Structure 1
């Protein structure tokens, strides 16, 4: 059956259409994105602005029509940190559903970590052993550690690349001292969560998911996306340090010209790299494998399991 996943994130709204069935490999059929930057539409009082709400409603309506015209049997819509953190989240989504007919599930940070861990486990299989996964979004960082499809530990921290860029790195390029202070702050913020991840057990495999990790891996020499999802891609700690030293001295416009860096994420790449570096350092990880599956695939897999009566 053809399924649609509508991912309402901090930076983009992403519609992924896949052909999927229980026990099979979800096959991507099309991908449509709109850059709304909802996290930047949060007003001083904490609510999503009227302009942000209108843009979101219009985009959801348009993307739902695309999914329907493409033969989707079902479209699953979910929102992550930007909408989740808005003080008027419930009101916004109620109005959106009334106008578009689309119900949007708001995922908790823990749900994000658990569903991403499910996708990673299905991609690598049981032979991977204990897996630690890191996922850097626009608003939050998710971490998990486990040997099963349900991880032993699943955590979410408000350390997303977009959030930290807005709060810490407003200058373009960011000042060296500001970068150094943020690096030290991240070490302190990560410490309690990292201790919990470590206590769950030493990983046999360390994985990075999300666009941020894919971009950083590409900058260190990993294969481009055109090579396909099954090509092994890695990010080493030493390579990441070299890339970070390079991109932190560049303007957003210059970073956007780098291969593998999209224009809508170039501005938050330095913050994302700092989170990646701090996480790997805290967990004593010298290398991550980059997994092509993440949260959207986890949502699809969980839905297929539920329809089969397995969850």
Structure 2
């Protein structure tokens, strides 16, 4: 069966088309990213601007048309936190439905964390080389545009999951107005994240595998020179350098897209402060995330029907 997930976020509408069979991992067929660039288009009342909604509808139209060209039989359209939390979300959904025929869905932040946890657990299982072995405890970190998710537990469902309003785009917009950034602003973000995350430190199981996912963590791992793993030491080395850079200088770093260069510093500070609050010194970066989790969950549902 040919399935697709359309992940509509603050930077892009990302379509991933796969061929899926029960009992096996989804096989990638086609990907398309269409820019949404919503991060700087939220007004003081929490609504997306008319121009941003136009970009959003155009991006969704492009990706939905592509899914039809690739004969997708089951499309999972997901609007993540920037759209889900917009005060004009119902108007946005109406526009998308009228133009594309697609009904945008949303999950709560905690449910997104649970679905992403499933994807990471399956990825670890596929790469462990030890089928049937007891699952080690897992800690998952995921920094998005509007929120940061933390989940932990054993098995395929976390015993603990939380979504916090600490996304890289949100923090950039609200707390890091200048680029190069002011040191006092960076320190304020660090303190804010520490205060927000520390209450959840006791939920992290001892000896847990420490895994992160999301574009933010992938970019930071490449910038810090250890692709596939991000260390707290590497973040501490790079945060002062990122603070002193203009967005166009950050965009020249390996793996950093121009559309995300402004929020890279916030991502780095959020990552570092979260790791400090949870008392971990590194995370391994997983290539599977929310999109893969949605596909895996849908394959399981279809196999049971």
Q: Distance in 1 between matches of 2:124 and 2:174?
A: 36
Please tell me whether the aligned partners of residues 135 and 155 of structure 2 are also in contact (alpha carbons under 8 angstroms).
no
Structure 1 equivalent of residue 295 of structure 2: 300
Which 10-residue stretch deviates more, 151-160 or 92-101? 92-101
Structure 2 equivalent of residue 104 of structure 1: 104
Q: CA deviation at 1:191?
A: 2.0
Q: Distance in 2 between matches of 1:157 and 1:124?
A: 25
Q: CA deviation at 1:128?
A: 5.0
Please tell me whether the aligned partners of residues 120 and 294 of structure 1 are also in contact (alpha carbons under 8 angstroms).
yes
TM-score, structure 2 as length reference: 0.93
SS in 2 for 1:52: helix
Q: CA deviation at 1:32?
A: 1.2
Q: CA deviation at 1:118?
A: 0.4
Please tell me whether the aligned partners of residues 216 and 243 of structure 1 are also in contact (alpha carbons under 8 angstroms).
no
| Structural mapping, 1:44-59, within 5 Å | 44-59=44-59
Runs of 4+ deviating beyond 3 Å: none
| Structural mapping, 1:128-139, within 5 Å | 129-139=136-146
Please tell me whether the aligned partners of residues 13 and 63 of structure 2 are also in contact (alpha carbons under 8 angstroms).
no
Which of 203, 208, 215 lines up with 1:211 in the alignment?
215
Q: CA deviation at 1:47?
A: 2.1
Structure 1 equivalent of residue 283 of structure 2: 288
Structure 1 equivalent of residue 129 of structure 2: none
CA shift in 2, pair 1:248/1:294, >3 Å: same
SS in 2 for 1:261: coil
Q: CA deviation at 1:219?
A: 1.5
Please tell me whether the aligned partners of residues 145 and 203 of structure 1 are also in contact (alpha carbons under 8 angstroms).
no
**1:259 matched to 2:254:** yes
Please tell me whether the aligned partners of residues 9 and 79 of structure 2 are also in contact (alpha carbons under 8 angstroms).
yes
Q: CA deviation at 1:82?
A: 0.7
Tell me the C-alpha RMSD between the 2 structures. Answer: 1.5
Deviations 1:93-119 (A, max 9, x none): 023113211111112101110010000
SS in 2 for 1:104: coil
Q: Distance in 2 between matches of 1:179 and 1:170?
A: 10
TM-score, structure 1 as length reference: 0.92
SS in 2 for 1:22: coil
Q: CA deviation at 1:155?
A: 0.6
Q: CA deviation at 1:158?
A: 0.4
| Structural mapping, 1:1-311, within 5 Å | 1-125=1-125, 129-195=136-202, 197-198=203-204, 201-223=205-227, 233-309=228-304
SS in 2 for 1:293: coil
Aligned length: 298
Q: Distance in 2 between matches of 1:179 and 1:48?
A: 26
Unmatched 5+ stretches in structure 1: 224-232
